[in-house]
C-alpha cells in the first residue's frame, strides 16, 4: 500500500512540475481573452504577438485568443462569460451582440469579400457551382459561419439551400472549407478573398456581384469584461496603423465609412 501511495505522490509531484514547466511564464488569469472568428486566425495571431512585444503594451499585458465560429463564440460567452474582446468576421455578428447588449459598438479593422476557392479545376468550372455544375463542393453552413450567411444572402436563401443539398460536405467554419479544397477532398468551396493567404495552393474567383457584399471585420469590448482598460488598449492597437498594416498584409481592404459609423455609437 505504501508503495502505491509513494508512486502516486511522486507521479503527482512530477506531473505538477511538468504542467508548470509547460505553462508560459507570461500567461495566466490576468491575460486579456479575445474571442475571435476562426477565419481571422492569421492576422490576429500576428496582432497578438506584435502587441505583446510593442511599446504600447507598457503594462506587459498578455493576450489569449480563442478561435471558433462567431455563433459558437456568442454561445460560449453567454454560457460562461468568458472573453474581454470580440473580433468577428462579419459586422452582422457585432450587431447581434450589440443589440443583445453583450458588447459595445465595434471598431472596424478591415473588409473582405466572398469568393469561390479551387485548386485543380478551371475558373469556369468553379463558377458552374452556381448553375448545378458537375464539380464537388464544400460549403459553409449559414447558421454557423459568417461566410455561409454572406453567400446565402447574395444568391438567395433557397438557392443556397439547394447548393448545400448538392454539396459533398457542409462545414462550420471557412477554414474547414478551405482545408477541404486545399486537400483535394472537393473541387470548389466558398470562402473570403483573404482565405487563400493561409493556403499556398488555393486560387480564387469572385463571381459577378459578389463583391457588392462587404464583410466588415470589427473588434468590440464585452460589457462583462473585468479588464476593460486592458481590452481597450489591445483594441486601440488593432485599429492603429501597425495593426492595420497586419490586416493589409493578410489581404484585407481598409474599412469603409459605413462601418466607421458603427464605431461612433455611444459606448456604455
- Provide the binding-site residues for another protein, judged by CB under 8 A: 1, 4, 8, 11-12, 14-19, 21-24, 27-29, 31, 33, 38, 41-42, 45, 64-67, 79-82, 173, 175-176, 178-179, 182-183, 198-199
Q: CB of residue 76 vs another protein: minimum separation in angstroms? A: 8
- Residues forming a β-bridge with 35: 66, 86
Complex with another protein: residue 19 or 58, whichever CB lies closer: 19
Closest CA to 35 of 112, 114, 103: 103
Distance CA 76, CA 79 (A): 5
Q: Say how far residue 17 (Cα) sits from the centre of its chain.
A: 34
Complex with another protein: residue 76 or 233, whichever CB lies closer: 76
The answer to whether the beta carbons of residues 59 and 230 sit under 8 Å apart is: yes
Distance CA 41, CA 141 (A): 19
- Residues forming a β-bridge with 85: 34, 221
Closest CA to 139 of 131, 154, 128, 149: 149
Complex with another protein: residue 175 or 204, whichever CB lies closer: 175
Complex with another protein: residue 25 or 257, whichever CB lies closer: 25
Complex with another protein: residue 77 or 149, whichever CB lies closer: 77
Complex with another protein: residue 211 or 249, whichever CB lies closer: 249
Q: CB of residue 246 vs another protein: minimum separation in angstroms? A: 16
Q: CB of residue 19 vs another protein: minimum separation in angstroms? A: 4
Instruction: Calculate the dihedral angle through the C-alpha atoms of 176, 94, 78, 148, rounding to the nearest 10 degrees.
Output: -30
Q: CB of residue 67 vs another protein: minimum separation in angstroms? A: 6
Q: CB of residue 172 vs another protein: minimum separation in angstroms? A: 10
Closest CA to 154 of 165, 142, 166, 167: 142
Dihedral sign from CA coordinates of 133, 134, 138, 141: positive
DSSP class of residue 200? T
Q: CB of residue 25 vs another protein: minimum separation in angstroms? A: 10
Complex with another protein: residue 29 or 268, whichever CB lies closer: 29
Q: CB of residue 41 vs another protein: minimum separation in angstroms? A: 5
For the chain, state the CA radius of gyration.
21
Amino acid at each position: 500500500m505504501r508503495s502505491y501511495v509513494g508512486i502516486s505522490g511522486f507521479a503527482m509531484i512530477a506531473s505538477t512540475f511538468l504542467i508548470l514547466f509547460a505553462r508560459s511564464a507570461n500567461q495566466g488569469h490576468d491575460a486579456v481573452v479575445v474571442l475571435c472568428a476562426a477565419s481571422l486566425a492569421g492576422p490576429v495571431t500576428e496582432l497578438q504577438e506584435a502587441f505583446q512585444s510593442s511599446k504600447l503594451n507598457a503594462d506587459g499585458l498578455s493576450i489569449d485568443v480563442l478561435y471558433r465560429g462567431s455563433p459558437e463564440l456568442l454561445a460560449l460567452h453567454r454560457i460562461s462569460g468568458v472573453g474581454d474582446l470580440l473580433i468577428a468576421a462579419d459586422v452582422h455578428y457585432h450587431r447581434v451582440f450589440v443589440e443583445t447588449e453583450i458588447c459595445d459598438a465595434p471598431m472596424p479593422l478591415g473588409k473582405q469579400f466572398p469568393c469561390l476557392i479551387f485548386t485543380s479545376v478551371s475558373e469556369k468550372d468553379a463558377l458552374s457551382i452556381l448553375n448545378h455544375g458537375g464539380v464537388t463542393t464544400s460549403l459553409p453552413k449559414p447558421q454557423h459561419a459568417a461566410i455561409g450567411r454572406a453567400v446565402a444572402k447574395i444568391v438567395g436563401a433557397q438557392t443556397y439551400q439547394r447548393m448545400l443539398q448538392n454539396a459533398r460536405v457542409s462545414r462550420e467554419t471557412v477554414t474547414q472549407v478551405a482545408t477541404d479544397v486545399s486537400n483535394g477532398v472537393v473541387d470548389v468551396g466558398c470562402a473570403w478573398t483573404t482565405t487563400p493567404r493561409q493556403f499556398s495552393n488555393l486560387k480564387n474567383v469572385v463571381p459577378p456581384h459578389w463583391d457588392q457584399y462587404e464583410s466588415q471585420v470589427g473588434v468590440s469590448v464585452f460589457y462583462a469584461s473585468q479588464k476593460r482598460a486592458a481590452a481597450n488598449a489591445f483594441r486601440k492597437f488593432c485599429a492603429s496603423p501597425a495593426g492595420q498594416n497586419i490586416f493589409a498584409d493578410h489581404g484585407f481592404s481598409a474599412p469603409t465609412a459605413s462601418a466607421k459609423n458603427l464605431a461612433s455609437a455611444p459606448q456604455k
